[in-house]
Each structure stands twice: as structure tokens, then as C-alpha cells.
Amino acid sequence: MRILLSAVLLATGIAIAAAVPAVTDFVRGTLAAAGVPPTLFAFAAAPAKAPEGAHSEGDGHGHDKAPNKAEPSNESAGHAHGGHEHKEGEEHAEEGVIRMRPEQVAGQDIEVAKVEGGTLARHILVPGTITPDTDRIARVPAKVVGTVAEMRKRLGDLVKKDEVVAVLDSREVADAKSEYLTAVVRAELEKTNFDRQQALWDKRVSAESAYLNAKAVYTEAALRQDLARQKLSALGLNAAEVAKLAKQDEATPNASTLRQYELRSPLAGRVVERKVDVGTAVGKEGDPSDVYTVADLSTVWIELSVPTVELARVREGARVVVTPSQEGGDRRAEGKVVFVSPLLNQETRSARVIVALPNQDMAWRPGTFVTAEVEIAQDKVGVRIPKSALQTVEGKRAVFVRTEAGFEKREVELGRSDDDSYEVTAGLKPGEEIAVANSFLLKAELGKGEADHDH
């Protein structure tokens, strides 16, 4: 009987423990008096976990419960966390919108430009070789037989047009000068004699035959003088300067200039080749015919080989962008097509195309291999945007349109393109303003805002 009572009391204690969060002292005493070990109902002493959403004001039987201040309830924690999340994503409450004040836009160097129409340029890539402009290269020839007495310019020196670059010692020049000077003196003497005979004939003092003879001799002397002057001119000498130098030689006989022949540069440029040294014989068959090569490299040519299938689209005057063929070359320059050959190379089946390229800094050297982008067409488009304005967001191409509040992501559809721009066929209209520089910052800000909002 005692054992049965103990079992009943045990079952009763467990039921009470399950129903009442905390076992009262009265129950504890009753169970202990019945002989139930304390360990069997010790678990009932711990307060049961309140169900989610329950209030801790009381147990409904007049017994107050102390709230657990160490850990807030799940609901209160959720409310606090949700409030923080709303604050973080407040600026991106609307999908695709980035709220940004004007000073923030300026501070991040986000450049904004108005959307407009424009032109897309299509081109072909062809190889080419830089050569000197044949209109800007010249040789300094040795026009007379002689020996090089002076070389006044070194390789690479700059020269001006008509500047003396070398001096030859030439017997041929000395003979031509002497012949002219002699002809001048004889012509002057014969003119004096003719003038005297004419005066006598006018007074009928001398015979007519003497007058006519003096006239014939003077005419012959004048003719010889003219022939000698033409010979000097053929040698590139000025008769007046020769006569002037002859008078100087009379004052300084040891510094005769009769044998000296000055070589002058035919154009302004730079000495790119020096072919002789002092003492070299020039002018005769088998001797060097030139002493210098002078080139004006401020403009160079590019010879292109354009395939036959592309030739019909290449026009004279077309814009050409040139880059070095070697790896690592980052220079770019712009020229234009000045000549398209009507003849084809029989071996390569290509046509010769010449491009004129400015070269003020002398960076493009003849002989260099280059790659040329030859413009072959221009397409007018209604909406044209720079490539820097485009970003890929969630796998789609988009731009950021300026709004009063900041920027708005706008998906766009693209059409044709060139090296710098795209045609927009849908999503944008002319007149709208978009971010064209540092737009990746807006993409990053948009991604950050959406991540905070999802969280």
C-alpha cells in the first residue's frame, strides 16, 4: 500500500512539474514526506522557457514572475534588428535608385553629360611602314668636279634652307669664274672703244669702217660675257657675287675664293645621311655624287597595303589612326589618306595607299612597322553614348540617369559601335543626362544598397 501511494505521488509530482513552471515548497514537502527522492523532481525547480510571444507579467494564479533581463525575447530582438536594417537601406528604398546630393556627386568625380546623337566611324585594320615624305627629302649634290674642302654639318644637325653645309675646292669652278671675270673686263674695254669710235663717226672724223669694226668687236665681247654668266648660273653661282668676291680677293690675294664652291641645303630639315669626308674627290664618274641627305621629318608617310576586297571603301582624305605594331607601344597619332593607287601589285594583289602623318616630336621614325585603322564609313545615329557610361548590372547593360534625387539605373539596348561609343536603340532619349565617368562607383553603391535592403 505504501509503494502504491509513492507511485501515485510521483506521477502527481511529474504532472505538476509539467503544468506549473515552478514547483511550490508545499509540493516539494509532500513528495519528500512520501519518500520520493529529490533528484526525481529536481528538474521541476528550473523555470520553464516561456512560449514565444508570451508575456511575463504573471502565471495567472497570482504569482508574479521576474522577467529575464539578460536576453530579450525573439520578437523584441527582431523589432530592434529590423529597425536598424530599415535605416541602412533607407537611401535605396526604391529599386535601382541611388540618392545622392550634388556635393557627393562632385566629391566622387562623377562626370555627367547630356545624351545626344552623333556619328559612329567604322574602320579596317591594315599594316604599314613609315617612310620619309618624298616631297620633304633632298640630297645635297656635288654639281662640279672637285675635292671636299669643308664639311660644316654633322649627322643629325638641323639645317636651314640655302644654308652652306659644305665647301668644295674645284678647278672647274675657278676656270668658270676666271672666264667670266675676263669676259667682263674685255666687254668693258670694247665698250669704251666702241663709244669713242661712235663719237668720232658722229663728227665724221673717222672712217665708217672703223666705227663698224668697233661695234662688231664690242657686240662679240658682250656676247662672251653673257655666255660666261650663263655658265656660272648653270653651276649655281651668282655673277654679281663672283664679281664682288673678285674685288675682295684683290685686297687679300692669299685668300682667293676662285676655287671655292659652296654647297647649300635645298630645304630646311635635319641631316640624316653624310656620305663623304674632307678630302674626298667628288663629281667625276665613279665618285660620290652627293655629300649629304637632308630630310624634313615633321611630316612622314605611311605606306599601306590594302587588300583588293577593301580597296573600294578606302577614300582619299579618310581619317587614319596609327599605333606601333610592337608590343608595349602606347603611342597613337592621327593622319589622313593622301593617295590611293589605281594600280594593283601583281604579286600581292593589293594597292598602295599613302597616309600623311604629322611628326612634330619626331617620335615616328622611318622604317617603323605600324598598324593603321583606316576609316571606311560613318554612320549617323540618334543616340550615342561613350563606352565609359555603360555598366553590367545583373547580366544586363545599363546606364545611370541623373535625377533630382541622385541617379537611376536604366537598362538600355545597344546597336552599332565603334572604338569609343555605342548606339542606343532603346532605353534612352536625347537630352537626358547620364554618368559618363566613374559610373562604376554608382554600380558599387547600388549593389551595396540592395545588399543592405535584402539583409
Segment 28-56 shows an average pLDDT of 46
End position of a domain, from candidates 340, 359, 378 = 378
Residues 351 and 386 in one domain: no
Residues 177 and 250 in one domain: yes
Task: Give the integer Cα–Cα distance in Å for 228 and 186.
Answer: 12
Measured in whole angstroms, how far is the alpha carbon of residue 35 from the centre of its chain?
99
Position 452 scores a pLDDT of 55
Task: Give the integer Cα–Cα distance in Å for 375 and 124.
Answer: 7
End position of a domain, from candidates 315, 346, 378 = 378
Task: Decide if 65 is inside a domain.
Answer: yes
Task: Give the integer Cα–Cα distance in Å for 254 and 157.
Answer: 32
End position of a domain, from candidates 248, 269, 291 = 291
More confident residue, 290 or 394: 290
Quick one: what percent of the chain has pLDDT higher than 90?
25
Residues 155 and 199 in one domain: no
Residues 200 and 311 in one domain: no
| pLDDT confidence bin for 251, thresholds 50/70/90 | low
| pLDDT confidence bin for 8, thresholds 50/70/90 | very low
Task: Give the integer Cα–Cα distance in Å for 6 and 163.
Answer: 135
Nearest of 260, 251, 258, 272 to residue 164 by alpha carbon: 260
Task: Decide if 76 is inside a domain.
Answer: no
Range name among 43-47, 198-202, 382-386 with the lowest pLDDT average: 43-47
Task: Decide if 414 is inside a domain.
Answer: yes
Q: What is the mean pLDDT of the chain?
A: 77
Position 338 scores a pLDDT of 93
Residues 146 and 197 in one domain: no
Task: Decide if 3 is inside a domain.
Answer: yes
Task: Decide if 81 is inside a domain.
Answer: no
Residues 60 and 14 in one domain: yes
Residues 159 and 233 in one domain: no
pLDDT tens for 305-352 read 888 888 888 888 889 999 987 765 678 899 999 998 888 877 777 788
**Residue 428 pLDDT exceeds 80:** yes
**Residue 250 pLDDT exceeds 50:** yes
Segment 366-373 shows an average pLDDT of 90
Overall domain count for the chain: 5
Position 408 scores a pLDDT of 83
Domain containing 308 — which CATH number? 2.40.30.170
Task: Decide if 17 is inside a domain.
Answer: yes
Range name among 3-12, 107-116, 380-389, 437-446 with the lowest pLDDT average: 3-12
Task: Decide if 77 is inside a domain.
Answer: no
pLDDT tens for 189-207 read 999 999 998 888 888 888 8
Task: Give the integer Cα–Cα distance in Å for 324 and 166.
Answer: 37
Residues 224 and 280 in one domain: no
Q: Which residues does residue 407 pair with via DSSP β-bridges, in sequence order?
A: 98, 402
Position 112 scores a pLDDT of 81
pLDDT tens for 79-124 read 333 333 434 444 444 667 877 777 777 777 788 888 888 878 788 8
pLDDT tens for 134-171 read 989 999 998 889 999 999 999 989 999 999 999 999 99
Residues 152 and 19 in one domain: no
Position 276 scores a pLDDT of 92
Contacts of 342 (CB under 8 A, 6+ apart): 351
414 lies in which domain range?
Answer: 94-119+380-454
Position 38 scores a pLDDT of 52
Task: Decide if 85 is inside a domain.
Answer: no
Task: Give the integer Cα–Cα distance in Å for 36 and 10.
Answer: 7
Task: Kindly report the three-state secondary structure assignment for every residue of the chain.
Answer: CHHHHHHHHHHHHHHHHHHCCCCCHHHHHHHHHCCCCHHHCHHHHCCCCCCCCCCCCCCCCCCCCCCCCCCCCHHHHHHHHHHHHHHHCHHHCCCCEEECCHHHHHHCCCEEEECEEEEEEEEEEEEEEEEECHHHEEEEECCCCEEEEEECCCCCCEECCCCEEEEEECHHHHHHHHHHHHHHHHHHHHHHHHHHHHHHHHCCCCCHHHHHHHHHHHHHHHHHHHHHHHHHHHCCCCHHHHHHHHHHHHHCHHHCCCCEEEEECCCCEEEEEECCCCCCEECCCCCCCEEEEEECCCEEEEEEEEEHHHHCCCCCCCEEEEEECCCCCCCCEEEEEEEEEEEECCCCCEEEEEEEEECCCCCCCCCCEEEEEEEEEEEEEEEEEEHHHCEEECCEEEEEEECCCEEEEEECEEEEECCCEEEEEECCCCCCEEEEECHHHHHHHHHHHHHHHHC
Segment 288-311 shows an average pLDDT of 89
Residues 268 and 253 in one domain: no
Residues 284 and 419 in one domain: no
Residues 160 and 267 in one domain: yes
**Residue 130 pLDDT exceeds 90:** yes
Position 387 scores a pLDDT of 83
